[in-house]
Amino acid sequence: MDAVRGPLPEAVTIGVIGAERFIHRIAAVAREETRTPYRLVTGAADREVDARERAMRLVGDVDVLLFSGPLSYDEAISDGPLPVPATFVPTGGVALPTALLRGALTGAVDPARVSIDSAPERDVRETYAELGVSMDDVHVLEYRESVTAEQFLAFHREHYDAGRTSGAITTVPWLAEQLSEAGVPNITMAPAVMTLRATLRTARLLGSGARLEDSRIAIVIVRLPDSALPNRTSSSNYWYQELMLSLHRALLHDARRMDAAVLQRDENSYLVITTMGSLRSGTDDLARAPFLASIRSALSLDAGVGIGLGMTTLEAEENAQAAVNLAEASSGELAYLVGPHGNPVPLPESQENPAPEPEPVADRQAEVLQEIIGLLDASGDDSRVVDADRVSRLQGVTLRTARRTLRALVDAGLAWPMPPARVQKAGRPAVRYQLLDERLIT
């Protein structure tokens, strides 16, 4: 075991588990941090099945464990929980286009004829759509807890041996070695430096939370409503990506004050990881909900916000999941906090506005959308893009009523909130909405 040591103010030691190549990369990223240096203890595990054995060797010397990916993490906890908090480097993200570019430049694989493991299929489809490359001969096997490295290997070999692919892109170093021995050209999709930085910060926060009672782990799940997801392949996906970026910026506004890490959790939610002490300072001692005001101001959209507390990462995330489910049942007007004892606590956006307002039913919103579409058609406008001022003038109602109408259409899945236009004038820019009249048919 080798270690990288520095005068870390919180005295948090991170145990890093993974292949030698991963350990060298994470150590190089950690060395770049000079303001609050990291203290790392490493345990090399070339095979994911060895991850638990390596981790158990380190648990007495570390405050938190950091695994190279979800596969090694799940292998490590398959025989029971670990004695210290643990996290892993997420797959996908900007690592995929980098791997595709490297494959094209080196000629190792043809990005148009390739098999890809671990990365979420949605990420792959969006990446190929942006590149303008067909996915007809691209095969994806997402990571699931039940998937093993051997299944990944069989997946890649089957497609290559059948002549359907030119090679493979994998996130598992051991798998890359096996593919090379089998004569299958391959590229290893390594996590980007920015992903490693964020994961190191998350590990530090988790380790701090485990050491200090006042800094118990606090995990916040912020989830967009299902109505905000695009239901077809079209330009709507562009607005969805812009919406997720706008949500990320809104979360960072509050997260910085709580010294929190913000990571994308899945296609419509983010994970915010902080400590109980930081959460208290950022919410006036839990007098108001975090993020609700920022999200509504930036996106004119209600998102579900659930906060989970726990002594372990798993406990905190399970409580956060229960909390966000309760928040969505309140139509996004309240956030919920669930602690170790499971008693939910509602948190309003502010003390001045504690109660949610009832939302109109979906059938009524379909009628409203039909009315607005009819008024737009009568005026010769077929763009299906409006803002509150436009709806106010069309329907002859106040701006306040128009804004509530548009928000209700979004909640019913009949409108798409678009990021505010960047205009060079004072005041809050108007939020535009794409009306989804095609959803009236379904």
Q: What is the CATH number of the domain that holds 112?
A: 3.40.50.10660
* Residue 375: how many other CB atoms lie within 10 Å: 17
pTM above 0.75, yes or no: no
Structure tokens belonging to residue 222: 């912020």
The neighbouring-strand residues paired with 307 are 220, 337
Strands 168-170 and 186-188, bridge-based pairing: parallel
- Shared domain for 65 and 159, answered yes or no, is no
Q: At 371, which helix (H) or strand (E)? A: helix 362-378
- Identify whether residues 234 and 303 lie together within a single domain: yes
> 265: which 2 tokens?
């959790």
Paired tokens of 94: 């900007």
Please give the chain's pLDDT, 442 residues, in tens. 444 443 334 457 899 998 888 888 888 888 887 666 788 888 888 788 888 999 998 888 888 999 988 888 888 887 777 888 888 888 877 788 889 999 899 999 999 999 999 888 888 998 899 889 999 999 999 887 778 888 999 999 999 999 999 999 998 888 889 999 999 999 988 888 888 988 898 888 777 755 554 457 889 999 887 766 655 444 456 677 777 888 888 888 888 878 788 888 887 889 998 877 778 777 776 778 888 888 887 777 778 899 988 777 788 888 898 889 888 877 667 888 887 666 678 888 765 544 344 344 457 788 888 889 888 888 888 778 888 888 888 888 888 788 888 878 877 778 777 655 554 444 455 777 878 776 675 4
Q: What token pair was written down for 215? A: 């800094």
Residue 406 near residue 391, CB atoms below 8 Å:
yes
165, amino acid identity: T
- Which domain, by its residues, includes 71? 1-90
pLDDT of residue 332: 61
**Which helix or strand (DSSP H or E) is residue 97 part of?**
helix 95-106
Q: Which residues pair with 417 in a beta bridge?
A: 433
Q: Establish if 197 belongs to a structural domain.
A: no
How far is Cα 58 from Cα 62, in angstroms, rounded to an integer?
A: 6
41 and 77, same domain (yes or no) = yes
- Residue 39 DSSP class: E
Could you tell me if residue 193 is inside a domain? Answer: no
- Residue 351 confidence (pLDDT): 53
Bridge partners (DSSP) listed for residue 272: 220, 262
Task: Verify that 241 and 321 share a domain, yes or no.
Answer: yes
Conformation bin of residue 78: beta by default, left when phi > 0, alpha when psi is -120 to 50 = alpha
pLDDT at position 153 is: 92
Answer yes or no: do 254 and 353 share one domain: yes
Q: How many of the other CB atoms lie within 10 Å of CB of 86? A: 24
- Residues 6 or more apart whose Cβ sits within 8 Å of residue 12: 39, 63, 64, 204, 207, 208, 211
Same domain, yes or no: 50 and 130: no
249 & 297 share domain:
yes
Integer angstrom CA distances of residue 277 from 62, 135, 257: 22, 47, 12
Q: Give residue 382's pLDDT.
A: 79
Q: 257 and 353 in one domain?
A: yes
